């Protein structure tokens, strides 16, 4: 039986958040600067991208570095695991729906 506790709820909150899969996928595809990520995701606002990037950095799914007055983002271990989960959710959708 799955034990639902505070940690589970925290992970679930990240997974169900809009734009998180697209952001992780964009960074994994080689878009590491804020502008590159923003340009690669249709319909996301700059404000919403900032919110989600800050959330992912706070949760330690992404690392943020400053390079030449530009923010640079890299996927950390939690981000890799989340990306893996999203990949499998897409597989389930394609297989069953």
* Interval 69-93: pLDDT, tens: 889 999 999 999 999 999 999 999 9
pLDDT score recorded for residue 2: 73
Mean pLDDT of 64-70: 90
Mean pLDDT of 46-74: 96
- The alpha carbon of 90 is separated from its chain's Cα centroid by a whole number of angstroms, namely 15
Among the ranges 5-9, 10-14, 33-37, which has the highest mean pLDDT value? 33-37
Helices then strands, counting H and E runs in the chain, come out as 5, 2
Mean pLDDT of 43-60: 98
Of residues 71, 64, 81, the one with CA closest to residue 21 = 81
């Amino acid at each position: 039986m799955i034990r639902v506790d505070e940690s589970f709820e925290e992970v679930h909150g990240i997974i169900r958040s809009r734009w998180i899969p697209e952001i992780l996928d964009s960074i994994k595809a080689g878009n590491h600067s804020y502008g590159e990520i923003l340009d690669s995701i249709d319909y996301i606002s700059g404000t919403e991208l900032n919110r989600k990037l800050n959330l992912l950095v706070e949760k330690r799914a992404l690392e943020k570095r400053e390079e030449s007055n530009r923010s640079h983002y890299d996927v950390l271990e939690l981000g890799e695991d989340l990306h893996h989960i999203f990949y499998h959710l897409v597989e389930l959708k394609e297989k069953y729906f």
